Amino acid sequence: MPTGKQDVTVVLPTLNEEKAIGIVIDELRNEGYENILVVDGYSKDMTVKIAGEKGVKVVYQHGKGKAGALKTGIEHVETSYLLIMDADHTYDPKDIWKFLEHANDYDEIIGVRVNRENIPLMNRLGNWAITKAFNLLTGTSLRDICSGMYLLKTEVAKRLDIESASFDIEVEIATQLVSNGEVTEVPVSYRSRIGRQKLSSLRHGARILLTIIGLARIYNPAFLFAIMTALALIPGGIIYLWVFYRFMLYGIWHSGWALLGTALIILGGQGLILSTIALMLKRMEKRIAKMIAKHR
């Protein structure tokens, strides 16, 4: 049975979004979405007043940052699905139907921002690096792990063990679900932001990268430690090049340094082999889990 608009609650986390919130609510209503939940982080402007005047349900979040807003929203959702969408006008409600088309088959559907010109350059580079790091450490091939628009099955969302406290919440949710569930993507448009940006490219980007590493340690530790060991190839190769350079130019052979370089290269090579095996085993585990789930 296809998923209808009545089956999804659109959750809008807000903090001082008075310039955009009314427009976003009107757009959602024009597209036929009536289940709208505003989760406010104690805004000091007119955000809550405007949302209340529009007739949508407003709750105040508990916990810190965007993660606290999402945990609060999940607790209040009663429909089968919930769609998280930033309330700053960057995402278009016209794209929600794309998520509903596949909602029955996946635990999470991420909206991939296909037009990147409205994303600041530093944020764009940060998103690329974070997504690449995420894919490397989890063995996936997602394209926009930091997207602020994604659909979750409510029963799955309520079982999530969320520890994050900031913008790294998207990464934590995706990490848990690529390990234990089904995740896919759909293309969405991305518009210019209305209001002040709250995301700090460097500070929050570094935090998200650290979160990815921490989560990989929990959900794919063998691969993480193996890939860290493989990094020994870098100093090993540098040492070997230096020894070769000294030998070719001056005829001096640094046997001690050559031995150290050899040891590091052997160690790094073993780490590279083990990381490949760990990645293959993780993918095999997912395929077996899918087969078991299909035959239940």
* Domain final residue pick, 171, 194, 219: 219
Determine the pLDDT at residue 149. 97
243 CB-contact burial (10 Å; exposed 0-12 / middle 13-18 / buried 19+): buried
Torsions phi, psi for 35 (to 5 deg)? -85, 90
Residue 132 neighbours by CB distance under 10 Å: 11
Determine the pLDDT at residue 218. 62
d(CA 23, CA 89): 8
Are 136 and 35 in a shared domain?
A: yes
Are 130 and 170 in a shared domain?
A: yes
- The pLDDT > 90 percentage for the chain reads 52
d(CA 44, CA 268): 53
Are 108 and 212 in a shared domain?
A: yes
Give the total number of structural domains in the chain: 2
Are 106 and 163 in a shared domain?
A: yes
Torsions phi, psi for 254 (to 5 deg)? -90, 90
Determine the pLDDT at residue 129. 81
Question: How do residues 254-283 score in pLDDT, each as one tens digit?
Answer: 999 999 999 999 998 998 888 888 777 776
Torsions phi, psi for 40 (to 5 deg)? -100, 140
Are 213 and 237 in a shared domain?
A: no
Question: How do residues 47-104 score in pLDDT, each as one tens digit?
Answer: 999 999 999 999 999 998 888 999 999 999 999 999 999 999 999 999 999 999 999 9
The answer on pLDDT for 15 being more than 90 is yes
* Domain final residue pick, 219, 234, 261: 219
d(CA 3, CA 142): 24
CA atoms within 13 A of residue 270's CA, in its CB half-sphere: 7
Question: How do residues 108-152 score in pLDDT, each as one tens digit?
Answer: 999 999 988 888 887 888 888 888 888 877 778 899 998 999 999
Greatest mean pLDDT range, 166-175, 209-218, 222-231, 266-275: 266-275
- The pLDDT > 70 percentage for the chain reads 86
The answer on pLDDT for 199 being more than 60 is no
The answer on pLDDT for 41 being more than 90 is yes
**What is the chain's mean pLDDT, rounded?**
87
Residue in 123, 125, 129 with CA at minimum distance from that of residue 148 = 123
Are 114 and 259 in a shared domain?
A: no
Are 85 and 200 in a shared domain?
A: yes
Least confident of 23-32, 139-148, 201-210, 269-278: 201-210
CA quadruple 124, 126, 131, 136: dihedral positive or negative? positive
Determine the pLDDT at residue 134. 83
* Domain final residue pick, 200, 219, 238: 219
Question: How do residues 164-176 score in pLDDT, each as one tens digit?
Answer: 766 678 888 998 8
Are 160 and 175 in a shared domain?
A: yes
Residue 284: which domain range? 222-294
For residues 184-202, give the mean pLDDT.
81
Determine the pLDDT at residue 188. 97
Determine the pLDDT at residue 207. 61
Torsions phi, psi for 197 (to 5 deg)? -70, 135
In the DSSP assignment, the letter for residue 12 is E
d(CA 177, CA 183): 7
Determine the pLDDT at residue 276. 81
Are 118 and 253 in a shared domain?
A: no
For residues 12-40, give the mean pLDDT.
97
Residue in 177, 196, 185, 161 with CA at minimum distance from that of residue 15 = 196
Determine the pLDDT at residue 45. 94
What does pTM read for this prediction?
0.78
